Structure 1
Amino acid sequence: MNFTHPIAVFDAGIGSYQIARKIAKRYPTQDIVYFADRASFPYGGKGRAELLATLQGTLARLADYRPAAVVVASNAPSVMVLDDLRATSAVPLIGVFPPVRQALAASRTGHVAVLGVDSLVESAEIRAYVAGEASGGRVELVAASDLVALVESGAFVSDPDGTLAAVRAKLAELPADIDVITLSSTHLPWLANYFAAAAPALTCLDPADTVVEALAPHVRPGSGAFVTLVSSRPGYDLAGFREMTARLGIELAITPV
């Protein structure tokens, strides 16, 4: 298929699909390559060096499509290794970051939480990032790789009762005065309805809209093609991905890679 300098969007699975679709809606003639790198799931279980090597390999693969820009649609690598990736990339890279300032601005109590994969919330990089964004507010870093796994496995579709129980258990870990959380894995917004059911008064922020607007200078009119690439491994195979997207009512022409 011929492309006119597509926007490439990727993370370790289904998480980045919503960002890719938001880009397609905002820029309808933009060609898009969406890569669900399930073979590398989870990014959140990798140390910094392994994560950097994994993403360098992914960017090399996507270079074949001559992208105008690449969205690293995952909070952990955006916070932890994006600067290193940019140092060796000839293509503009757009990251996804926890909207800490927006969370504190929306909070009545000044106490908010960032939910993300374990490697993100345990990293020195996220602590430095939060320190620069918090401006006097209180920010809790909350490990949520268990919730991310429910999305990538498809359990959030096949086991709604179990998923709601897991979300309630996670929220029970938080201090009682937290009134805003950031869903700082691109998988977590898939659970927005569960968070709303578990805690109707809680505000949940998704940074996807900021990413879409940041792409404006890189848009190149094309045919509006949307190509889906999916890698796989045992436990995260192509059949499971197809079943999950079918249950979600998502129709994708998938190219295995």
Structure 2
Amino acid sequence: MTNNPIAVFDSGIGSLSIIKELRREVPAEDLLYFADRAHFPYGSKSHRELHEIIVNTINYLKRFKPKLVVVASNTPSVQVLEEVKKAVTGVPIMGVRPPLKEAARMTRKNHIGILATAGTVHSKELENQIGREVPQHILVTKFNASPIVQLVEEGVHLLDERRTFDVISRVLGDGVGDRIDVMTLSSTHLPFVKRYLNALLPTVKFVDPAQMVAKDVKKFLKFNRMTKKSGSGKLQIMVSDRKREFERSVRAMGVREPVEEVFLTF
């Protein structure tokens, strides 16, 4: 298993924020990045649809014999990951969740924000996580960031600054920086617009869980004696729809590896 790849997937470009940190944290590891654009966006799917998509996707990825699968999307990680782990056998699975404990520790105004997809924002699972991880004296405001996620997936943030600022401003509303001092980037697409967020809200700290996920992967591999000892890790990229548009976006982000289009039957 040592030389087998780590599979990383979400519904599109978002996984790249996790891939970037994995390449820094575990540079010798081979990575398989699957952008499942055929099912974009995860944030609008029902609980049942999401469960079915994630189970089928992991079963599809098993043919590449990954030593670990990283579900690099907050929406399924929050809503269905525990059920998925029971339904899929033969491969360890890790997700990414809103870093609420970290945000709660950092806030001085006792008010944090969660930027996430519509599916995550409205889920009972996120409410349960808030109940478990955020002390009662800390206020939590949730923001539906699905319009920003859509914008990133289409590569608009790379081409049209005005439109990007307008969309983010509409999502955030007025006076946010006066009330909130810490906000979680609870979609893996959101780190790609961090410079816009910093410009709009210079007094707010944004918490990106990508580094935490990469460190957790490193610990997992070490504990299970799966760490690849030497060599330089390779990146294999697959996309399930709209390859040309996807390729244009990843090239603009500095990714040079070839992109292979695959066709799913689910």
- State the TM-score, normalizing by the size of structure 2: 0.90
Higher alpha-carbon deviation: 214-223 or 11-20: 214-223
**Offset, 1:68:** 0.9
**Offset, 1:249:** 2.6
- CA distances 1:189-218 after superposition (whole Å, capped 9, x unpaired): 111000011111111110011111111222
Look up the match of 2:107: 107
Gaps of 5+ in 2: none
1:206 aligns with 2:213: no
The alpha-carbon distance between structure 1 residues 174 and 6, as it changes in their structure 2 partners (threshold 3 A), is: farther
Amino acid at match of 2:44: G
Alpha-carbon distance in 1 for matches of 2:64, 2:163: 40
Could you tell me which of 236, 239, 246 is aligned with 1:241?
246
Alpha-carbon distance in 2 for matches of 1:145, 1:172: 15
Gaps of 5+ in 1: none
Q: Does the aligned pair in 1 maintain the 2:144–2:171 contact within 8 Å?
A: no
Q: What is the 5 A alignment of 1:218-229?
A: 218=221, 219-221=226-228, 223=231, 224-229=233-238
Amino acid at match of 1:181: M
**Offset, 1:23:** 0.8
Amino acid at match of 1:213: K
Amino acid at match of 1:172: G
SS of the residue 1:215 aligns to: helix
Could you tell me which of 252, 257, 262 is aligned with 1:252?
257
1:62 aligns with 2:61: yes
**Offset, 1:118:** 0.2
Identity %: 35
Q: What is the 5 A alignment of 1:113-152?
A: 113-136=113-136, 137-152=138-153
Look up the match of 1:192: 194
Alpha-carbon distance in 2 for matches of 1:35, 1:21: 14
Look up the match of 2:164: 163
Q: What is the 5 A alignment of 1:89-104?
A: 89=88, 90-104=90-104
Q: Does the aligned pair in 1 maintain the 2:243–2:259 contact within 8 Å?
A: no
Aligned residues: 252
Amino acid at match of 2:204: L
SS of the residue 1:190 aligns to: helix
The alpha-carbon distance between structure 1 residues 52 and 16, as it changes in their structure 2 partners (threshold 3 A), is: same
The alpha-carbon distance between structure 1 residues 104 and 26, as it changes in their structure 2 partners (threshold 3 A), is: same
Which consecutive segments of 4 or more residues in structure 1 shift more than 6 A?
none
Look up the match of 1:179: 181
SS of the residue 2:238 aligns to: strand
Q: Does the aligned pair in 2 maintain the 1:33–1:226 contact within 8 Å?
A: yes
Q: Does the aligned pair in 2 maintain the 1:68–1:220 contact within 8 Å?
A: no
Alpha-carbon distance in 1 for matches of 2:184, 2:44: 20
Alpha-carbon distance in 1 for matches of 2:235, 2:250: 15
